[in-house]
Structure 1
């Protein structure tokens, strides 16, 4: 699937990316769409995909330029109420923020680093009977049979298309994440869904359809290392409806979501929802990583810096300064940093706790978060350490 075919950006006064959205499109709950359509002269988007949204309506609004979309939303705020209609935000493996990316670094060569890192837990049965859905860029099938990554045997997913002579940004992201889960839960069943295409971006309206498809397979844990900031810092309307219509009715299943890498405390969605397990990142010294978002909406922090796991064998050219244009060669493994990777570490710990005690993901997560609060560190917050 391709990435968003249209995008518009809103910037802060100090030059940071505030959020991205789909020009000419707004979202509304089913009970409000007629009022919004009448006010704005908007038209409802039909078709099979829209019917899968369950409670959410996509509307096209008349615009002569991209910024008119926001003008329409301001009018809705004033005449119908704040949050009645919202942008169709663009969710990223790469969140906004002054060129900084999630992962917080581009993939790096090992340079003697031990693989995998964190090491695989000694409890080889951890995760038995647990199904983890990784919603990400897709799955690199060669990793399942590569002698360098035996811990990925049996993982499945939507194959990711990768040019090994010129590995694109975020390629292998989902495979790396699956490896991090397996390090903590070696016996877990993992499927990597290819819902984030080249460029690692998707409209929120499309993302919740894809999450619904993942949920239809009845996973215990959904691990999502993508998200976005939003207009007026309001919750993602599509995810509010997804929770109400779908996820809240699937008892025990949880969504573990990355807190993002913008180095600030502003909410990053969907991690900021109270029904998710939101994960920030720690450095190797146990301090909060300087790239990690933080604040009272972050549930827990876990190691996210310099993790080592599976990566496609091939050539990668850096896209981010100060290394832009640098050539890097990989042979099945890479070192990577970001809340993208602290998130599956926590997902793996939840899976391990589930199998250890025969409990649901929700109960396992609650137990681990309670322990994380007891182990909390000044200046950081609740923390979880990898299993040994």
Structure 2
């Protein structure tokens, strides 16, 4: 651990640099009287994270610009790789390094046998006002019942079964690894504090995978998105990506998460992680809810690139909320016909958003977002692999060629 001396200030802005050049960066920062604390270098990423102490009026962007200028001046124009460990679309000075999992819309399933209630985002839930078709719900839990406008699903139990109840995970099968929130206890204590909806994100994703791919192995989770709203450090995400592929040996890496950059360029951490793992497994990522929800974030629009989905070696999965009137960007590879999915959720009182009244849930929920489209796609690929012996890439190609459950976006 290396320490330079300098100014006081909050020690949370972080940068990542090539490990071989970390000492050079620290020397220049010291000459600028900026304190930098270096963590342990990551052997596969070949990057080191530096925690920078800035004053309340200091700008990390301005510091990095001066840092690059001085390094280039001292080294004949040569520059090491330097990047931020942060969500670059956020205003600079306040920002911790964050990556967000998607949790926009979640509603309870009716415990008394009625249709799931769907809250539409940006428009009706279907072209005819009916309930969108929910993909691959286990037949042991739901049965199709014709509706006036669409296909609905009837709850067969007031305490809905889960995928655990109808098929145990299979050892030695297809292995999916994913990065998400930590797994939560889905039983909310009666009379206690209400649960936060975002904490069920990983359990919901896991159940979606199990529904579609019951013959796959138990999915392998790295729960690094631990902070409020399902946020975490991009460094931890990159480390988890490498760990799941190189050490857990997953066949499919699922990334139901995203980060954004102000200049639209890919973050160094994700670029380096993909350099390490590309070609070793199929990588599927959520394309981002900015593609399907107008006004989801005021500084993002339907053309905003999300990472890692926009990398060419990643299969980006979106969803259709409002039909083809809004074309998806070229980097989106496929979409699911519906954005709404149903799976395990909390039993008890749940806050959908912070500082809002709690709603009672009964063990399952309908939830919308491209996280779940990506999870559904990963399950479809795993199921096809289990049934046919195809590789992950071959299974993906077969599914998009059929164009029924996973639809190729670009002609």
**TM-score, length-normalised on structure 1?**
0.71
Structure 2 counterpart of 1:148: none
Q: Residues of 1 paired with 2:103 and 2:324: CA distance? A: 15
Structure 2 counterpart of 1:296: 330
SS of equivalent to 1:63: coil
CA deviation profile, 1:343-379 (whole Å, cap 9, x unmatched) = 10110111122122212213322333444499968xx
Q: Residues of 2 paired with 1:209 and 1:303: CA distance? A: 33
Question: Is residue 2:314 matched to residue 1:276?
Answer: yes
SS of equivalent to 1:233: coil
Matches within 5 A, 1:1-388: 23-41=12-30, 43=36, 45-47=38-40, 50-51=41-42, 54-65=45-56, 67-76=58-67, 80=72, 84-89=81-86, 90-94=97-101, 102-105=102-105, 107-111=106-110, 112-113=114-115, 117-120=134-137, 129-140=173-184, 165-189=193-217, 190-199=219-228, 200-215=230-245, 216-245=247-276, 247-248=277-278, 251=280, 253-263=281-291, 264-283=302-321, 287=323, 294-319=328-353, 325-372=356-403, 381-382=409-410
The verdict on how the C-alpha distance between 1:345 and 1:277 changes in structure 2, with shifts beyond 3 A counting, is same
Higher mean C-alpha displacement, 192-201 vs 364-373: 364-373
CA deviation profile, 1:212-233 (whole Å, cap 9, x unmatched) = 3333211111211111101422
The verdict on how the C-alpha distance between 1:352 and 1:54 changes in structure 2, with shifts beyond 3 A counting, is same
CA deviation profile, 1:8-59 (whole Å, cap 9, x unmatched) = xxxxxxxxxxxxxx95321122344344334333645134xx4356311212
Q: Residues of 2 paired with 1:194 and 1:328: CA distance? A: 25
Q: Residues of 2 paired with 1:375 and 1:334: CA distance? A: 22
SS of equivalent to 1:172: helix
The verdict on how the C-alpha distance between 1:353 and 1:289 changes in structure 2, with shifts beyond 3 A counting, is farther
Shift of 1:312: 1.6
Number of residue-to-residue matches in the alignment? 323
* Contact preservation (8 Å) 1:23, 1:69: no
Q: Residues of 2 paired with 1:139 and 1:375: CA distance? A: 27
Structure 2 counterpart of 1:147: none
Q: Which runs of 5+ in 2 are unaligned?
A: 1-10, 73-77, 87-96, 118-132, 140-165, 292-301
Shift of 1:309: 0.8
**TM-score, length-normalised on structure 2?**
0.68
Q: Residues of 1 paired with 2:44 and 2:197: CA distance? A: 29
CA deviation profile, 1:161-207 (whole Å, cap 9, x unmatched) = 9x974112411111111111122212212233322114211111122
CA deviation profile, 1:54-89 (whole Å, cap 9, x unmatched) = 311212334223642111222345564899322112
Q: Residues of 2 paired with 1:304 and 1:195: CA distance? A: 28
Q: Which runs of 5+ in 1 are unaligned?
A: 1-21, 95-101, 144-159, 384-388
Flag the structure with more relative contact order, 1 or 2, with Cα contacts below 8 A and sequence separation at least 6: 1
* Contact preservation (8 Å) 2:215, 2:386: no
The verdict on how the C-alpha distance between 1:288 and 1:339 changes in structure 2, with shifts beyond 3 A counting, is farther
Structure 2 counterpart of 1:6: none
